Each structure stands twice: as structure tokens, then as C-alpha cells.
Chain A
Amino acid sequence: MDGFPILSLMMAVPMAGAIACLFAGANSARWIALIATLVDLVLGIALWANFDQGGLQWQFQEYHPIFGRFAWALGIDGIALMLIALTVFLMPICIGASWQAIQKRVGEYMAAFLFMEVLMIGVFTAQDLYLFYIMFEAGLIPMYLIIGIWGGADRIYASYKFFLYTLLGSVLMLIAMMWMVHEAGTTEIPALMTYNFDPHVQTWLFLAFFASFAVKMPMWPVHTWLPDAHVQAPTAGSVILAGVLLKMGGYGFIRFSLPMFPEASAQLAPLVWGLSMVAVVYTSLVALVQSDMKKLIAYSSVAHMAIVTVGLFAFNQAGIEGAMMVMLGHGLVSGALFLCVGVIYDRLHTREINRYGGLSINMPKYAVLFMLFTMASVGLPGTSNFVGEFLSLMGIYQASSWVALVCTTGIILGAAYMLYLYRRICYGEQKNADAAAMPDLSVREVALLAPIAAAVLWMGVYPESFLAPMRADIRALEARLAPAAPAGDSKIKMGAPKQPSEGHHEEASAHGEAH
């Protein structure tokens, strides 16, 4: 595939689809969107298949200096590859989830989603600082429209809050980017990743980027836009928001903050740890008392994202790999959970947990799949989130055992609120007649949830498929961070395996022969 602009093509396909959708009728827009996203999925699989593991760090590079001060520069490493795979995997599912739920202004809706896909792929592939910023920021427009036009009752407030919060976060990052480009004399991200900025300035640059990524992530205390946006967004909007948009924050940390400002990252790591610890405990407790399903899952997202940040700021391979796995796992699981909420919301048009109950009786298929995703969200071994959470916490334990201690309670609290949610919805008596009369999953809904279930199990049982492409990149990042990494407090000492003495060995074998 040398020289073939597959990354540009992956952005061109949904872009063309988006334009076509604007002019198409409702039904043809649905089909155009589905076909465009499926084509992108196929291209994504081809991308993964042709990705040379252990080869060059940056692959599929394209460079066209057509914009004057910045360039159309694309290229991916293993980390970006995984996130692109997540994006193209979730997109057809989002389109499928909106098939019947969206009935008004379908063409515009599908166009907004396809445009969103262009921008998400753009964010993960951009190799030019300004191109990245443009893609990162442009995502606000379609998401604003998706929440505002097709959202719930309080959609206008939520859309404003989403837009202005994230905009304020990212404009400061732009100023920092300008400063960096003037200092380093290049806009290329790979070059900037190895440029050594003055440690004093790094602190300011780090904080400016932090303002953007922390909001996007979102970290406590700037997470408040997320529950509002999730609750009001249509189902597919929530899926893409939780599944991919939040990952842009984590991707930003891993691509910019850590490698570009290693000293500042180490210096400010306690800040990140502190915020993450609060987030894990506080948002889990908040999730426990929610009566709205979507809000509960939204708060659980904040808690999971905090595990990602502690993993990233563990400054070691286990932590960063874990963070990436949590991001991928959470992308699938939270997306699936929002779909599960969407399934029953479509039937009863309420997100109140109390209006449901005993669904395992009349919706057994639903109950099984919902159970699987609940367990995955809790981090049950064998599911995707277990791998990520375990690695993250193992990583942070090497850096700070206290942080690991507090964050691990998040797993327990996570089990509490998720199982409590599941009990209230699926178990118990069927107290509401209308909920009891709901039909089980349709073929379309099974087709949406089954691929995610398969991926969740695959990631849990054989995570190596997902870790292998990223390993070299994460190792390089760890090497970049090593000089600055803070000393850990856990004082892990690798015990030297006892060398059995020669005589002992012979004695043992002689002993064996004697028998």
C-alpha cells in the first residue's frame, strides 16, 4: 500500500457521504450513511491489516503543503491506529442505532454524523499541529447541532454548555501551540515530540494543553458539561461522545502533553493524580444516587476516564498501556451501555430507572447482553475493561501506592452502582405494566449490540491483538519520559529467582531415580 493515500480516502468517503446526505431524502440518507461508514470500516480493517507492527513509528504518511503556514500532513502510529479502529467500528453502529429513532431532518442528521467521523479520523491522523487543532475544534460544530436539534427536552442548555466549555478549554491550547511553533520552528507533530522545551516554559504550555484536554476528557471538576450533554443527546450522539470524543482528551495527553512536556508532566503529576482520585471516588458516589440511566452512565464515564489519567501519569509502560486499553474498552462498553439505554428508551420514552423493573422476564436477550456490558463496565476478568484497569492500577502502584489505593476503590464503587442499576432494571418484580409489555430485542438491535459484545470479549480474553500494535510506541514514550519520571513510593524490588545449586539439583535427580 506504499504511497496510496488511504488516510485521506478514509476522510474523503464520509465527507462525500455527508454532502450527499444533505441533498438526499430520509431513507436514502440512511442508506448512504450506512454504506459510507461500512466502506470506512472496510478501509479501517485494511489499514490495520497493512500496519507494520514493529516497523517505522509513523506509517501511511502523507504530506501536502497546500495551506501556506501548515500542511495536510497525515500519518499514524499504533496508538492512533487503535483509536481509528474504534471510531470506524462504532460509526456504523451509531447509524444503525439512529435508523428508527431519528425521524425528523434525517439527511442533516446523517450528514452531521458523517462529518463528525471525518473530523475524528482527522484528529487521530493529523501530523501537523494546526491541522490537529482545526480537526479537534471543528468537532464542536456537528456535535452542537446533534445535541441541539435532535436532543431531549433541555437540549439547548446542554448544547451551549458543551460548546462553550470545550471552546474555552481549547483556545488557550491554541496560544500555546503558536508559541511552540515559533520556538521550535516547525508545525510537525513528530518533530515537536522530540523537541526539548525549556522546563520553566513547559509548565505553562502543559497547563494550556491541560485546560483543553482536561475538559475534553473530562476530569473533575470540569466534567459538568458531560452529564448534561449525554442526557440530552440522542442515543447515537451519546455513543459517539462517550465512545470516541472523550478519547480525544486521552489521545491529546499521550500525543502532546506527555512527550512534548515531560518535565512539566512529572512536576504536575500530583495535580493530575489528585483530580483523578477525587473523580474516581466522588463521581462514583454521584453515580450511585442517580435516578436517570444516562446520567448514571455519564458519571461512570468520568470515573473511568480518571483511571485513564492515572494510568497515563504513571510514567511507565504498564500504566500507559492500561490507559489505552481502558480508553478502548470504555469506548466499546459505554457505547454499548448507551445503546442498551437507547433500546428501552425507544420503547418507553423515559430514562427514569424506577419506571422499569424485571425486564429479564420479558426481555431475556436484552438482559443477557446488558448483563455482559454491565460486567464489562465493572471490570470483570475476561472482559475488556479488566485488562485496562488492572494494567493502569499496576502502573500507578509503581508510581504512588496511595493513588493506587484510592483509585482501586473505584472498581468496588463501580461494581456497586452498576450492579445496583442492573438490579433495578432487570431483576425484581415487574411493577410497571407498560415496561413488562415491552418486546425483546429486534434483529436490528441484536445486530448492533452483538459485534460490540464480541469485541469486548475478544479484548478481555486476548488483549495481545490490541496491545501489540501499540507496544513499540508506548515503549518509545516511556523512554522519552524516563529522565523526568517521578520516583515511585512503592519501592518494588524484583526478587532474584533462587538459583538452585548444582549439588542440590543432582541430589534431587538422584533422589528421583531412587524412587
Chain B
Amino acid sequence: MIETASLLAVLPELILTAGGLILMLVAAYAGDGSARVVNWLSVVTLAIAGVALSCSLAHGPDAFDGLYRADAFSVFAKALIYGAAAAAILLAPRFFSVGGKPRPEYAVLILFAAIGMGMMVSAGDLLTLYVGLEMNSLASYVLASFMRQDERSSEAGLKYFVLGSLASGILLYGSALLYGFTGTTAFDGIAVAMGDGVSNGELFGMVFLLCGLAFKISAVPFHMWTPDVYEGAPTPVTAFFGSAPKVAAIALTVRVAIEALGPAGLDWQQIVIFVALASILFGAVAAIGQTNIKRLMAYSSINNVGFALIGLAAGTPAGVAGTMSYMAIYVLMTVGAFACILQMRDADGNPVETIASLSGLSQSRKGLAAALAIFMFSMAGIPPLFGFWAKFLVFDAAVAANLTLLAAFGIAMSVIGAFYYLKIIKTMYFDEPIVAYEAKGGPVENIILTACAVVIVLGYLLNPVLDQASAAAAASLF
């Protein structure tokens, strides 16, 4: 007998599941012509699920005997995930309508991915974790190869699938080891078992588990798939990959590290510190030579994950709050930046992806250039833009946790990263125009872009709200 409280706690997932299945049927019977309706209904479904989060929180924190957690942490992450998923749906139609018709399955797949991501951030057990992760991954593999006639897109999907399966295997192996040595798959049970010291078997299980997760968040040294997949996937899908799944994977990693592996903090801290610094450095250095903007965004996401992990490395509530705030601001910047990138279309409406094509954009499309410049300066962490505050929070947590040296190294390397963001601004503002862009962007793109830019510029006024929400989210893990 399933208790009602548990069902109410998973209400957002239930809504998304029902919505996804119904829309799938609509898509199957009504054909491609229904794309527009399905898109909007998916966004509405996501919005309803977002509202249902409060119901979920009221009936938490534990559901299904601890398999599923409906706490402030998961609600924070899900709000970001649903928002980013909705943006990815809204941004897509114009892209797919070039040289073909938009297909309704796109939005449905994103809904299914959102269910998986919701399970990931709510996982209280290694099995829930794995099911959520795979559900998200399956939808993502299909999304990556969504333009099946396009060679690059198919290649991206295949690469993502092969490497993703490998990572899932590693993760499963780690889970199995942990289960073998602790006798349980529940996060709190693992924490109790590790409380009396970490045995070698548990250590190996932990390392494998973290490797699998590092793949999902595309942290160095498990990042190799990212540039290829980001470049090959259709641009709206790339925007999606860069935002929602990143939040889900980071939140999942944080939850596993704190809730399940908490007693082994000193052991995983070294791993996280290495991964964080390596990601920051590699993401920054490798991005410098890129000429394709989507590839550059891939390296930028690797770089950003490194910064977000600095908060986790601190291992304190403040650090976790910093990481979650980082992801919130990062999602805004990524969605905004991709809303700009999606407008990179030549005069005939065909998408262009080279950075060089941005030359002189500030003279032909003033507003678009200004918005992209805001997002780039923000990603580089230059105040007074909000991206600075994201970095500030994680470094502040690191300093408070006596990791001053880590903070100093990390922030010094952020200067390297600033270089390639500046390169884009230089191309837009200092160079003379070469490619004539389409004169106007779509209204939806422009609205999303403007909203993100306004928050990035005036974000500091939201600080009290963000502080409170992220602190509550972090407190629910400790």
C-alpha cells in the first residue's frame, strides 16, 4: 500500500509523467502540425509542476521510506531545472523551423528528461539515483541526435551514448561496491556504515561513484565528450545540456557527497579539489583556441563546473549554498547566452556558429551585442554583473572553510578564463562587421534574453532572497 503522503511528495514528477505521456499521444496522432501546441502545453506542464513543488515540500522530506527526498534542496534544484527546461522548449521552434518543420517530440523528450532530473536531485538511495540518471540520459541521447539527417547531430548522439553508457557502468560498479561493503543502498545507511572509518572497499566504491558523477557534470578528467556533443547537438539542445542537466548533476553530486559520503569528507574533498582546479584550468586554457561558439560554450561549462565545485570542496552548509546559488546564476547566464547564440543567423536565416561571424555585431545589432557582452562579462566574473557574485559565494565559502590557498589558486585561474570571454566582446565591439545578420530576433528569444540580462545586471537586489533560499536548501542536507 502506497501512502498518500508519498504520492503527494512526488506530485511534480507525477504531473510531468502524465503531461509527457498525454502530449506524446497528441504528437503521435496529430502529427508534426501539433508542434506549436505541444510546445506551449509542455511549458504549461512544467509551470504546473513548478507550482506543485510547494505541495511536494509540504509532504516531505522523506517519501517511499527514504527512497525519495522532497526537501528544500530538491525544490531549489527543481525550480532551476524546470525553468531551464521551459526556456529550452521556448527557444527551439525558430531553430528547427529552418529547412524543415519543428517536431513535437522535442518538447516531450525534454519533459521526460525533466522527470529524470527531478528524480536525480530527489534521490535518497543509489537505486533512485541510477534510475533518475538513466531516465535523463536516455532522453538526452535522443535529443543530441534529434536532427537525424544531420551528420554532426547523429555523431554527437552516438558519442554521447557510448561514453555515457561507460560512465553509467562505472557508476553502477561504484554503487555495487558501496552496497557490498556497507550492506545498504540508502544514502543515510551508507553514511552510518562509513561513520566508523572508511574501509578500502568503501573507498573504491566512492571513487568509482564520483568518477561516474564527474562524467555527468563534465568535470576534468571526464569531460572529453562535452565539446563534441555540444558542438554537434542542435543549438537549442546544447542550450538545454548546458543548463538543466548541469544543475541536476551538480545537485546530485552534492547530495551524494554530503548525505551518503559525509563521514568520508576528508577523502572526497581531495578528489573534489583536484577536479575543481583541473576543470577551471582546463576549461579556461582549452577554450582560448576555439573558433566555434558552441564549442567555446562547452569549455566554458567545464570551467564553470569547476567553480561550482569549489563550494562543494568547502563541504560546509555555506559552501553548498554557494554551489547552489552558483548554479542558479549560471543557468541564467547560460540560457541568456544561448538565446543570443540562437539569434546568430545570416541574412537568409541559416544558423552560423563561428565566433568570427560576430564581428562588428555591436554596429549592426546593438541590443543583441550588448546582451551577449553582458553575459560574457558576467561569466568572466567581472562585477557589477551577477556572475561575479556567483564566484564570490563559492570562494567566500572556501575561505571560511580555511581553504584560502584553494580560493587564491582558483580565482587566479579565473583570469585566464576572462581572456576568452573578452575575445568574444572584442570581436563584437572592436572589429569591423563582416557577416550581415538577420535584422531582427524572434520575440520569444528577445523576451528571454532581456529577462536574463536584466537579472544579471540588477541581480544584487535579489541577494537576500537568493541567500535565504540557498541557505534553506543547504540546511536540509546537513
Contacts and interface: CB of A to CB of B under 8 A. Distances in A.
Interface in B423-478: 425-426, 429-430, 460-461, 463-464, 466-467
B463 A67 contact: yes
B395 A178 contact: yes
A174 B393 CA distance: 12
A148 B362 CA distance: 13
Contacts of A69: 463, 467
A159 B430 contact: yes
Nearest to B409: A175
Given A168-B412, A172-B412, A174-B395, A182 B400 contact: yes
B377 interface: yes
Contacts of B407: 175, 178
Interface string A162-181: 01100110011011001100
A105 B428 CA distance: 14
Given A138-B384, A175-B408, A68 B463 contact: yes
Nearest to A171: B411
A108 B367 CA distance: 12
Interface stretch (B15-23, B129-137, B413-421): B413-421
A174 B399 CA distance: 11
Given A68-B464, A174-B392, A175-B399, A148 B382 contact: no
B429 A148 contact: yes
Nearest to B363: A105
B329 to A, nearest CB: 14
A160 B412 contact: no
B28 interface: no
A138 to B, nearest CB: 5
Interface in B232-246: none
A295 interface: no
A175 B377 contact: no
B385 to A, nearest CB: 8
Instruction: Name A's interface SS.
Output: helix
Contact residues of B: prevailing secondary structure:
helix
Interface string A109-140: 00000000000000000000010011101101
Nearest to B464: A68
B125 interface: no
A66 B382 contact: no
Interface string A130-157: 1001110110110011001100000110
B383 interface: yes
A168 B382 contact: no
Contacts of B425: 144
A182 B384 contact: no
A156 to B, nearest CB: 6
B422 A144 contact: yes
A160 B363 CA distance: 21
A148 B426 contact: yes
B388 interface: yes
B463 A174 contact: no
Given A67-B461, A149-B429, A175-B411, 18 more contacts: A66-B460, A66-B461, A67-B463, A68-B464, A105-B363, A137-B382, A138-B382, A141-B377, A144-B425, A148-B426, A159-B430, A163-B418, A167-B415, A167-B418, A175-B395, A175-B404, A175-B408, A179-B404
